Structure formats: structure tokens, C-alpha cells
């Protein structure tokens, strides 16, 4: 098997779905896909709204901050 870090995105997605199906079964996989592929709302509109007052300096500063968990 190709190490995960060397897989293309398509190969990784296929592999991850195989692992999920093996671990949680076909019904669990179908449920997972329904939950994680059916977005709600309008992401583009929402993103434009929350980013409208950000400057390039704000964005760069946010990239340099440690991630909060």
C-alpha cells in the first residue's frame, strides 16, 4: 500500500472510505457520507459576510497565531 503522505487526494479519499466501511459497515458509511457531504446554508455568502472587514494584514496575522483548540 502507498503511504498516506504519498497518496493523491483521490487515492486518500478512496482509502479512507474503505477504512470507514470496514470499521462501521455500509450503513454507517452511508450515514457518515450523508452527514458530511450535505452542507447547509450558503458558504460563499456567509464567508463573504464574515470576511468583509478583514484586511490582508488581518489574514496574515491570523495565520501566524497558534491554533486554538
Per the domain annotation, does 69 fall within a domain? no
Higher pLDDT, 16 or 67: 16
Going by pLDDT thresholds of 50, 70 and 90, the confidence category of residue 68 is low
Q: Is residue 33 part of a domain?
A: yes
For residue 38, pLDDT over 80 is answered with no
**Residue 1 domain flag:** no
23 belongs to a structural domain: yes
Q: Which three cell numbers stand for residue 54?
A: 478583514
Q: Give the domain extent around 19.
A: 8-64
Percent of the chain with pLDDT over 90: 55
Note the pLDDT of residue 25: 95
If one counts the domains in the chain, the total is 1
Please check whether residue 37 lies inside any domain of the structure: yes
Residue 36 lies in a domain: yes
pLDDT of residue 65: 86
Residue 33 grid coordinates = 457520507
Is the residue at 2 inside a domain?
no
What is the predicted pLDDT for the residue at 69?
Answer: 55
Largest separation between any pair of C-alpha atoms in the chain: 47
Q: Is residue 28 a contact partner of residue 20, using CB atoms and an 8 Å limit?
A: yes
Q: What is the mean pLDDT of residues 39-50?
A: 83
- The torsion angle over the Cα atoms of residues 55, 58, 63 and 64, rounded to 10 degrees, is 140
Helix then strand count (H, E) for the chain reads 3, 0
Amino acid at each position: 500500500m502507498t503511504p498516506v503522505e504519498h497518496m493523491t487526494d483521490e487515492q486518500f479519499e478512496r482509502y479512507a472510505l474503505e477504512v470507514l466501511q470496514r470499521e462501521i459497515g455500509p450503513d454507517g458509511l452511508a450515514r457518515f457520507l450523508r452527514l458530511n457531504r450535505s452542507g447547509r446554508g450558503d458558504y460563499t455568502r456567509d464567508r463573504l459576510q464574515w470576511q468583509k472587514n478583514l484586511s490582508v494584514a488581518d489574514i496574515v496575522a491570523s495565520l501566524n497565531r497558534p491554533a486554538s483548540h
